[in-house]
Amino acid sequence: MRKTIILMLSVALLACTNAAKQPKLEDECLYSPSKTQFQFWSNVAEQMEVRIYNGDCWVDDGEEPCEIVPLTKGANDFWTATVKGDLAGKFYTVRSFQNGEWAPESPGIFAKAVSINGQRAAIIDMKATDPENWDKDVRPAMTDPTDIVVYETHLRDYTMANPAIENKGKFLALTEEPAINHLKELGITHLQILPMFDYGSIDETNLDQNRYNWGYDPVNYNVPEGGYSTNPADPACRIREAKLMIQALHANGIRVIMDVVYNHTYDVMGCALGRVVPQYFYRLNEDGSYANGSGCGNETASDHEMYRKFMVESVCYWAREYHIDGFRFDLMGIHDQETMRQIRAALDEIDPTILTYGEGWAAMSPAYPYEDLAMKQWTYKMPRVGAFSDDIRNALIGSPFDHDPGFASGNPAGVKDVMRGLIACPEWSGEPMQHVSYITCHDNYCLRDRIDVSAPDESEETKLRMNKLAQTAVLVSQGMSFIYGGEELYRTKRGIDNSYQSPDSINIIPWENKREYYDLFEYYKQMIAIRRAHKGFRLGSAEAVKEHVEFLDADNDQVIIYRIKDLEGIDSAKSLLVVLNGSAKVVKTAIPEGDYILLAFNGGADAEGMGELHNEQIAAGPYSATILAEK
Ligand code: CA
């Protein structure tokens, strides 16, 4: 008996040791002044080599490597070599020999520093990229994910048209006071930045062309984009400047969320994943062709052990090296649920307040069993991983697949779905933090344009009312709040609903509107303040939502009366009452008896209160929100 136990123990210990010994994909290049260690994974290579270059040019510039180092295959299909001497300042590629020929060179799948346009990996001392006091950088305080307000933006959208910003379109822009102060004034807690890893659609050698792209075309997943640095030819520059941005935002109380695009690569053989190990990192159709759940020509295979490991290591790398506070997963529905759970577990070991959420859908059908994918309807199976709620979005402003109005623009059809969205769709989200409440993001029309196409004959005054009403529903929802940057300044993309490569003139946030539409900005600001002042709007658990939230009978299919009650010990208000009037008429509504402070009414909002109310009825203005806090 005793012998058996010892045997079992040693087997367990062995399994444990093996897992611990599994090399890390991120350790492709470990630099020290005396030596550099290389390590790459391939399960199909017959030979592998590292090619070391003095120059930082394109791979096809004809420069011969100054040294070619063969790699030796070791355990777990990892190939390694150690090169003595100080290689700082040099570049490298890796290539593998398989099926009788050498595959094209690549910077490896986990390059951490790269040349201009990311064709070669750079050997640098990562420590030397840390800004001063980087070791003292801390994540701003955060208690519950539903407390936060995310502001999504693109570095160019946010900075190109602001005359007070010096480093327009660069990471450094977000270290400047005029850029940071607007976010602080608005009161958001998290800045979500469109892809800031190295992507391919902008030629970093020709930045004076001032071209624009969202950046959903990954080249090097673990390096900041060179186009956002002041000098993409210096591999350390982009790393240091990305860190400076994050440090400055943290110092001002703002957390940073990265938009990650692990679901596809720009192409297959042009990308390191395809070059290092052909096919393995992608899902294939039965006929051997590349599956295309992304709609971009391929889809990655998170269900394959080493790609899953890659994703887990990659997010952890950004969280540790760059102090990133959250990840928004593009087309998360292409990834499998188990990968998302493992990512969550790995980030929890670094800091459980790091956020994870994504798009719970794919562009086309992924080549993987639907019930195992990280689709929105299975969100509850991935605790503390959230999904964007197209439910509340479509119900409030209409679906992106047509131009119909939503509840906030006069269509009563969505009323039940708005109510579900207000309580964070528990049937799929599980918990409120897993429901990202939003109406607009970089995709599809921005809010102004959406209302313009769905209610074309209305006056601007009415459209502004609809705008405020829709955003109010987002900000009083029990889910996690998300706002598309620039909506507070009444941005327009002039009717373009997919501006991924439109010029700055379409994508920029119009800063002059901060004067012209100050009332709208002030409303957004006050609504954010109201949310942040009242815990009742962010109860934090499905159980608490069930206990405290009720919908009163409005006797009108264009009016919602949303009440959060019994808040003693939770909120400064005894109860909160929200009346959303999605109709064009003034609607008189009975309210429960009580002494109230008026927080929002008829297109205005003030977190400090707009007055007191003792009535048993209110007259809700057309397309407007009324918010009452019971004293
Ligand atoms: Ca790039």
Nearest to 517 by CA among 482, 484, 468, 471: 468
Q: Which residues are catalytic?
A: 330, 359
Calculate how far, in angstroms, residue 215's C-alpha sits from the geometric centre of ligand 1: 9
In the chain, which stretches have pLDDT less than 50? 1-19, 59
Between CA 573 and CA 579, with CA 574 as vertex, the angle to 5 degrees is 75
Superfamily of domain 549-630: Golgi alpha-mannosidase II (2.60.40.1180)
Calculate how far, in angstroms, residue 246's C-alpha sits from the geometric centre of ligand 1: 19
Same fold, 22-105 and 549-630: yes
Which tens digit of pLDDT belongs to each residue from 54-66?
A: 987 654 667 899 9
Residue 425 region, left (φ>0) first, then alpha (ψ -120 to 50), else beta?
left
Residues near 378 by beta carbon (within 8 Å), at least 6 away in sequence: 337, 360, 371, 428
Calculate how far, in angstroms, residue 211's C-alpha sits from the geometric centre of ligand 1: 12
Fold of 22-105: Immunoglobulin-like (2.60.40)
Q: CB burial class (10 A; 0-12, 13-18, 19+) of residue 562?
A: buried
Whole-angstrom Cα distance, residue 91 to residue 281? 25
Whole-angstrom Cα distance, residue 573 to residue 566? 9
Query: How much is the pLDDT for 456?
Result: 98
Calculate how far, in angstroms, residue 61's C-alpha sits from the geometric centre of ligand 1: 18
Calculate how far, in angstroms, residue 232's C-alpha sits from the geometric centre of ligand 1: 9
Calculate how far, in angstroms, residue 202's C-alpha sits from the geometric centre of ligand 1: 6
CA distances from 424 to 383, 408, 541 (A): 15, 18, 10
Query: How much is the pLDDT for 4?
Result: 42
Nearest to 529 by CA among 623, 608, 594: 608
The DSSP annotation for 469-528 comes to HHHHHHHHSSSEEEEETTGGGT---TT-S--TT--HHHHS--TTHHHHTHHHHHHHHHHH
Query: How much is the pLDDT for 55?
Result: 81
Query: How much is the pLDDT for 616?
Result: 85
Query: How much is the pLDDT for 6?
Result: 43
Domains in the chain: boundaries? 22-105, 549-630
Calculate how far, in angstroms, residue 115's C-alpha sits from the geometric centre of ligand 1: 9
Calculate how far, in angstroms, residue 569's C-alpha sits from the geometric centre of ligand 1: 51
The DSSP annotation for 303-367 comes to TSHHHHHHHHHHHHHHHHHS---EEEETTGGGSBHHHHHHHHHHHHHH-TTSEEEE----SS--S
Q: Are 254 and 189 in contact (CB under 8 A)?
A: yes
Nearest to 233 by CA among 58, 116, 61: 116
Which tens digit of pLDDT belongs to each residue from 84-107?
A: 999 999 999 999 999 899 999 999
Between CA 100 and CA 103, with CA 102 as vertex, the angle to 5 degrees is 115
Collapsing DSSP to helix, strand or coil, 594 comes out as coil
Calculate how far, in angstroms, residue 47's C-alpha sits from the geometric centre of ligand 1: 29
Calculate how far, in angstroms, residue 220's C-alpha sits from the geometric centre of ligand 1: 8
Nearest to 84 by CA among 31, 122, 34: 34
Q: Are 283 and 300 in contact (CB under 8 A)?
A: yes
Calculate how far, in angstroms, residue 359's C-alpha sits from the geometric centre of ligand 1: 24
Calculate how far, in angstroms, residue 218's C-alpha sits from the geometric centre of ligand 1: 8
Whole-angstrom Cα distance, residue 271 to residue 70? 22
Residues with CB under 5 A from ligand 1 (ion): 198, 226
Calculate how far, in angstroms, residue 225's C-alpha sits from the geometric centre of ligand 1: 5
Calculate how far, in angstroms, residue 217's C-alpha sits from the geometric centre of ligand 1: 9
Q: Are 247 and 240 in contact (CB under 8 A)?
A: no
Whole-angstrom Cα distance, residue 402 to residue 557? 22
Calculate how far, in angstroms, residue 114's C-alpha sits from the geometric centre of ligand 1: 9
